[in-house]
Structure 1
Amino acid sequence: MTLNIGLVILIAVLTLIIGLAAGFFLARNSMKSYLAKNPPISEEMMKSMMMSMGQKPSQKKLNQMMAQMKQQSEQAQKK
Structure 2
Amino acid sequence: MGTIWVIVIALITLLAGVALGFFIARKYMMNYLKKNPPINEQMLRTLMMQMGQKPSQKKINQMMRAMNNQQQQK
Q: Would you say same fold, with TM above 0.5?
A: yes
Counterpart of 2:52, as a letter, is G
**Unaligned regions of 5+ residues in structure 2, if any?**
none
Distance across 1 between alignment mates of 2:23 and 2:33: 15
Query: CA RMSD of the aligned region, Å?
Result: 1.1
Q: Give the drift of 1:8.
A: 1.1
After TM superposition, where is structure 1 displaced by more than 4 Å over at least 4 residues in a row? Answer: none
In the superposition, the TM-score normalised over structure 1's length comes to: 0.84
Aligned residue pairs, count: 74
Bigger RCO of structures 1 and 2 (CA < 8 A, at least 6 apart):
2
Percent identity between the two aligned chains: 55
Correspondence 1:38-57 to 2 at 5 A: 38-57=36-55
1:58 aligns with 2:56: yes
SS in 1 for 2:53: coil
